[in-house]
């Protein structure tokens, strides 16, 4: 029988094709707390609620697709990181994961610092009142203009990424009559166990200055000679979505090794080390992330131990979590447009967004979960692939997941753990409009980043 002649498609778990998925869960209505924002639950009617607001109301008020962000969860996670590291360390939220003025205000209030890596992120941070001295400025190719603005506004640190940049920042600071606090980013040669595109500490890549062949030590030597710079520490970021702490252990060992070389050569003990971000979150029930207090304990112990062995006083530690704070706090709410069963394969569920609001599946082969959220269903599970509305077959949001087989156009489905690197990497591909970010808190919802409009698109098109 041809596929088109068999519209019922693969409804049953006993005719599953090969794929990267576990067996269907016993109950598709159960929401795994690991992957959903903290205040998420289902109400008596089976509708998902978050921050005390149900998703049917959210869809009516704000439309779909929309990123729905749980403020209490964001603040709770930010506070947990801050508390875990205590007063002897600094937590810099990595704004690249997701940045908006509301987020900046929450971070400020919860006592976190902020890592930015472009003029746009810096402008957002300053416009929302983050004190400049609590901002770190990153990037492997900061423009002269970006450096000048960062120095002028008084950012707490600039993380230097190349030999040219050491000189560039020193000159700009000097020309402004300032001495800029800086760190040097080094690559420690660690292979982080994550996707190649988001691993950053092996040597053959664009970030940082290699520790190998004494290059990092030479960078330190030059930075110490320049009047425009106050070298406060060494920076290492080994990658992203990492669960295994051993990479951090090796990185800390090698960074402390460099501090020792610096002490021996220059008689200077640099006061800070930054171990970057990169801690993984749960995208599916198979992921088991660590809690901030476990991470803080592990990192502090590693650095203290390494420093004792090198007879150095322990430097102040900073970390830069992005995903681990914002990732789990949001989900993307979509409306189902079409349901297309393909016999012997899977059912394609098309939603009103796609790779323009979540490029991670196409780019990193990322795995996500999904649930029917506008109602409960006792229908049998069907193997589904959630796809977008873009003109590309790689436009996949969730590759393999189980949804109830009575799923129909008009149902709302939600993809959890989309708080990090989804809105911040969203595009206008096919001139699809980028969705809003809606914050829910204590029974209220409000838009913090509005939906893009066709006027927004046409305003840029000045030809
Ligand atoms: N610090 C530095 C210097 C970084 O480059 C990054 C991320 C972070 C901190 C924060 O890492 P996190 O804690 O969020 O893992 N677009 C990719 C991730 C790219 C990460 C880039 N740098 C993704 O969607 O997985």
Domains delineated in the chain: 41-70+328-460 (2.40.37.10), 72-326 (3.20.20.10)
Q: Is the CB of 81 under 6 A from ligand 1?
A: no
Q: How far is the CA of 97 from the centre of ligand 1 (A)?
A: 7
Ligand 1 atom at minimum distance from 324 CA: 13
Buried/exposed 426-443: b ≥16 CB within 10 Å, e otherwise: beebeebbbbbbbbbbee
Which pLDDT value is given to residue 190?
A: 84
**415-443: per-residue pLDDT in tens?**
999 999 999 999 999 999 999 999 999 99
Give catalytic status of residue 422 as yes or no.
no
User: What does the DSSP assignment read for 259-289?
Assistant: HHHHHHHHS----EEE----B---SSTT--P
**Residue 203: which residues within 8 A CB-CB, separation 6 or more?**
187, 189, 210, 212
Q: Are 292 and 80 in contact (CB under 8 A)?
A: yes
Q: Are 445 and 354 in contact (CB under 8 A)?
A: no
Q: Is the CB of 276 under 6 A from ligand 1?
A: yes
Which pLDDT value is given to residue 7?
A: 38
Number of CB atoms found within 10 A of residue 139's CB: 21
CA–CA separation, 174 and 236 (whole Å): 26
Which pLDDT value is given to residue 4?
A: 35
**332-380: per-residue pLDDT in tens?**
999 999 999 999 899 999 999 999 999 999 999 999 999 999 999 999 9
Q: Where are the alpha helices (DSSP H) in 310-345?
A: 323-326
Ligand 1 atom at minimum distance from 359 CA: 24
Residue closest by Cα to atom 16 of ligand 1: 421
> Locate tokens 């789990």: which residue?
328
**Active-site residue (options: 117, 307, 391, 422):** 391
Lowest mean pLDDT among 23-32, 267-276, 430-439: 23-32
Q: What is the mean pLDDT of residues 32-44?
A: 97
Which pLDDT value is given to residue 10?
A: 45
Q: pLDDT: is 201 or 141 the higher one?
A: 141
Ligand 1 atom at minimum distance from 425 CA: 16
Residue 233 phi, psi (nearest 5): 175, -175
Q: What is the mean pLDDT of residues 21-45?
A: 92
Q: How far is the CA of 16 from the centre of ligand 1 (A)?
A: 35
Q: Is the CB of 292 under 6 A from ligand 1?
A: no
Which pLDDT value is given to residue 205?
A: 82
Q: Is the CB of 138 under 6 A from ligand 1?
A: yes
CA–CA separation, 273 and 256 (whole Å): 8
Residue 286: pLDDT above 90?
yes
Q: How far is the CA of 420 from the centre of ligand 1 (A)?
A: 9
| 3-class SS letters over 28-65 | CCCCCCCCCCCCCEECCCCCEEECCEEHHHHHHHHCCC
Which pLDDT value is given to residue 16?
A: 65
Q: Is the CB of 157 under 6 A from ligand 1?
A: no
Q: Is the CB of 254 under 6 A from ligand 1?
A: no
Angle, CA 163 vertex, CA 259 and CA 304 arms, to 5° = 15
Which pLDDT value is given to residue 311?
A: 96
Q: What is the mean pLDDT of residues 273-286?
A: 96
Residue 397: pLDDT above 70?
yes
**166-221: per-residue pLDDT in tens?**
999 999 999 999 999 999 999 998 876 666 665 666 777 899 999 999 999 999 99
Number of CB atoms found within 10 A of residue 60's CB: 10
């Amino acid at each position: 029988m041809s596929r088109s002649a068999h519209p019922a498609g693969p409804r049953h778990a006993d005719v599953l094709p090969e794929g990267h998925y576990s067996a269907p869960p016993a109950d598709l209505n159960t929401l795994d707390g690991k992957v959903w924002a903290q205040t998420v639950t289902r109400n008596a009617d089976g509708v998902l609620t978050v921050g005390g607001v149900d998703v049917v109301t959210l869809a009516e008020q704000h439309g779909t697709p929309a990123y729905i962000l749980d403020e209490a969860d964001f603040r709770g996670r930010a506070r947990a990181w801050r508390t875990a590291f205590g007063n002897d360390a600094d937590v810099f939220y990595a704004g690249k994961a997701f940045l908006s003025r509301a987020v900046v205000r929450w971070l400020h209030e919860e006592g976190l610092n902020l890592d930015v890596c472009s003029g746009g992120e810096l402008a957002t941070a300053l416009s929302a009142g983050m004190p400049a001295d609590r901002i770190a400025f990153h990037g492997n190719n900061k423009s002269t203009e970006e450096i000048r603005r960062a120095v002028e506004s008084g950012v707490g640190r600039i993380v230097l990424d190349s030999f040219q940049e050491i000189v560039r920042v020193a000159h700009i600071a000097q020309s402004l009559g300032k001495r800029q606090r800086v760190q040097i980013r080094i690559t420690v040669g660690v292979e982080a166990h994550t996707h190649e595109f988001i691993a950053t500490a092996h040597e053959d890549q664009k970030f940082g200055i290699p520790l190998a062949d004494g290059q990092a030590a030479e960078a330190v030597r030059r930075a110490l000679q320049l009047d425009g710079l106050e070298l406060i520490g060494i920076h290492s970021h080994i990658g992203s979505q990492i669960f295994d702490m051993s990479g951090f252990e090796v990185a800390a060992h090698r960074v402390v090794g460099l501090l020792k070389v610096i002490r021996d050569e220059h008689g200077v003990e640099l006061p800070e080390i930054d171990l970057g971000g990169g801690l993984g979150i749960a995208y599916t029930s198979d992921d088991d992330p660590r809690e901030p207090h476990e991470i803080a304990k592990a990192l502090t112990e590693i650095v203290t131990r390494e420093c004792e062995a090198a007879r150095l006083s322990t430097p102040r530690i900073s970390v830069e979590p992005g995903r681990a704070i914002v990732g789990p706090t949001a989900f993307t709410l979509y409306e189902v447009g079409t349901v297309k069963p393909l016999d012997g394969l899977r059912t394609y569920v098309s939603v009103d967004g796609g790779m323009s609001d979540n490029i991670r599946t196409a780019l990193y082969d990322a795995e996500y979960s999904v649930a029917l959220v506008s109602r409960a269903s006792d229908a049998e599970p069907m193997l589904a692939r959630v796809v977008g509305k873009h003109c590309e077959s790689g436009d996949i949001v969730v590759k393999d997941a189980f949804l109830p087989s009575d799923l129909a156009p008009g149902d709302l489905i939600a993809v959890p753990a989309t708080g990090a690197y989804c809105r911040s990497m969203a595009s206008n591909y096919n001139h699809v409009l980028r969705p809003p970010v809606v914050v829910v808190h204590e029974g209220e919802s409000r838009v913090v980043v509005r939906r893009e409009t066709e006027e927004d698109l046409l305003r840029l098109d000045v030809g």
